[in-house]
Amino acid sequence: MKKIAVIGAGIAGTTTAYALVKKGHNVTIIDSRRYPAMATSYANGGQLSASNAETWNTTKNVVSGIKWMFTPDAPLLFNPSPEIQKYRWMLGFLWTTLKGDHKKNTLDTINFAKKAREIYFKIADEEGIEFELLKKGILRFYDNAKEFKLDKEKVSWLHQEGMEWEVLTTDEVKKIEPAFENNKNYEKILGGIYTKSDASGDIHKFCTNLERILVEKYSAILQLKTTVEYITRQKDKLVLTMRHENEIINDSFDNVVICAGVNTQSFASRLGDKMNIYPVKGYSVTIDLKDEISKKCAPTVSLIDQPVKIVASRLGDRFRVAGTAELAGINTDIRQDRIKPLLKWVEKYFPNVSTETYTPWAGLRPMTPNMMPITRESKMKGVFYHAGHGHLGWTLSAHTAQIVADNIDSN
Ligand SMILES: Cc1cc2nc3c(=O)[nH]c(=O)nc-3n(C[C@H](O)[C@H](O)[C@H](O)COP(=O)(O)OP(=O)(O)OC[C@H]3O[C@@H](n4cnc5c(N)ncnc54)[C@H](O)[C@@H]3O)c2cc1C
């Protein structure tokens, strides 16, 4: 049994801690916030989506990205501030695109996503965790013929990987999600693509409930309001220097796993590890479905409006709508001009859902230029990374956590 510190109690840290306690290790989870999962793993799109596990490194996205820079309510917003890390990340993104790694990386993430999905289902069953899990699949829909055609062309190579993308007509879209009924804009939908084995659920509820089980059932230690400042090696131990309120604490461990989301980059820089994680900002609105009409008229199948890159998930009596990619550094200010398109989208497709009461949110996707998560060891022996899942942290973490835990055991 090893004594292991996990830095970060978001989805990457929570799943890592779980994989490690299941192997019999003694785990301490450390997070600077007052509660677990209060950063990016708080109010995301909710999708456990092997069907949407595509990396973004395509020429089409690069061209669209350039066009979107000049469109105020586009899915991508570029802030031209002079920030070296941003330009380094963009060059890395471009390089991955030119190298043509998109297909290989996409197939890898699909595989990870499928394995992760099974682990989440198993955890939910074995630990009795409630997180508004809906196993109703994910439905992409299109009102743009060009986008629909392009995605249909991917169906054949995705099928080779066992990805069951089912192409639907407009009527079939409505059959799968009847909430589209009685809506004039529905007629503009040209069809859809459905992945029935996908799911959705509340990432924050999952993390909070699993953290409780980690402490109560598996005797993990949860050290909140504690910021890790340094990691040093002293003989065969790793020493963490932490700040808890105004007190400095030192504690030693056999291994450390850094799951610090967008802050992972600063750990890597201090440890001398090559890494390139950029905070790609996104927004969500969580609508309270207070009245019976809103409850009845909000969809229950998780949705992707592919042309505008908006995702939506039903989370019990709430409806979450998320989207936007903004390159603006470490900044979680909520901009109303980015929230408005999400509310307008609800009004467009689900006009009977009241948007009177909603909670806006902004989060930072910890994104690598090639969109692949990092699960490797640091130059400082015994320190591992589990970070950089970008737009797919909820979808992939349960499986990538297993990879990290296996790496630690085989070291
Ligand atoms: C708008 C939006 C929609 C999204 N939708 C989806 C989706 O539908 N499906 C999907 O799969 N993914 C989605 N994602 C991505 C997903 O939410 C993220 O990839 C994931 O939450 C990242 O988790 P994490 O644990 O790596 O980081 P975080 O959740 O940010 O956790 C990192 C933790 O580390 C702690 N920390 C940092 N530094 C320190 C330190 N020095 N000491 C102690 N603690 C520290 C922080 O307090 C934080 O709690 C979405 C993201 C956004 C923004």
Q: Among the atoms of ligand 1, which is closest to the Cα of residue 242?
A: 42
Burial class (CB in 10 A: 0-12, 13-18, 19+), 166: middle
Residues 6 or more apart from 54 whose CB is under 8 A from it? 102, 106, 109, 154
Residues 6 or more apart from 90 whose CB is under 8 A from it? 327, 369
Q: Whose CA is nearest to atom 14 of ligand 1?
A: 391
- Where exactly are the structural domains of the chain? 3-409
In testing the pocket of ligand 1, which one of 40, 281, 327, 364 has its CB within 8 Å of the most ligand atoms? 40
Instruction: Tell me the torsion sign for CA atoms 14, 400, 86, 271.
Output: positive
b/e code 332-347 from CB counts within 10 Å (16+ = b): eeebeebbebbbebbe
- What's the token pair of residue 163? 């990805």
pTM: 0.95
Instruction: Tell me the torsion sign for CA atoms 202, 205, 208, 211.
Output: negative
Q: Among the atoms of ligand 1, which is closest to the Cα of residue 322?
A: 1
User: What's the distance, Cα to Cα, between the start and end of the chain in Å?
Assistant: 13
Distance 9 CA to ligand 1 centre (A): 9
CB atoms within 10 A of CB 171: 9
What are the residues facing 359 on neighbouring strands? 286
Asked if residues 201 and 134 have their Cβ atoms less than 8 Å apart, the reply is yes
Q: Are strands 191-195 and 166-168 parallel, antiparallel or unpaired?
A: antiparallel
Q: Which of 20, 53, 124 is nearest to 386 (CA)?
A: 20
> Which option is the CATH number for 3-409: 3.40.190.10, 3.90.1570.10, 3.50.50.60, 3.90.1150.10?
3.50.50.60
Question: By three-state DSSP, how is residue 230 classified?
Answer: strand
Please give the chain's pLDDT, 411 residues, in tens.
Answer: 999 999 999 999 999 999 999 999 999 999 999 999 999 999 999 999 987 788 888 888 877 777 776 666 666 666 666 678 888 998 999 999 999 888 889 889 999 999 999 999 999 999 999 999 999 999 999 999 999 998 898 887 777 767 788 999 999 999 999 999 867 777 789 999 999 999 999 999 999 999 999 999 999 999 999 999 999 999 899 999 999 999 999 999 999 999 999 999 999 999 999 999 999 999 999 999 999 999 999 999 999 998 899 999 999 999 999 998 888 899 999 999 999 999 999 999 999 999 999 999 999 999 999 999 999 999 999 999 999 999 999 999 999 999 999 999 998
* Ligand 1 in reach of 365 Cβ (< 6 A): yes
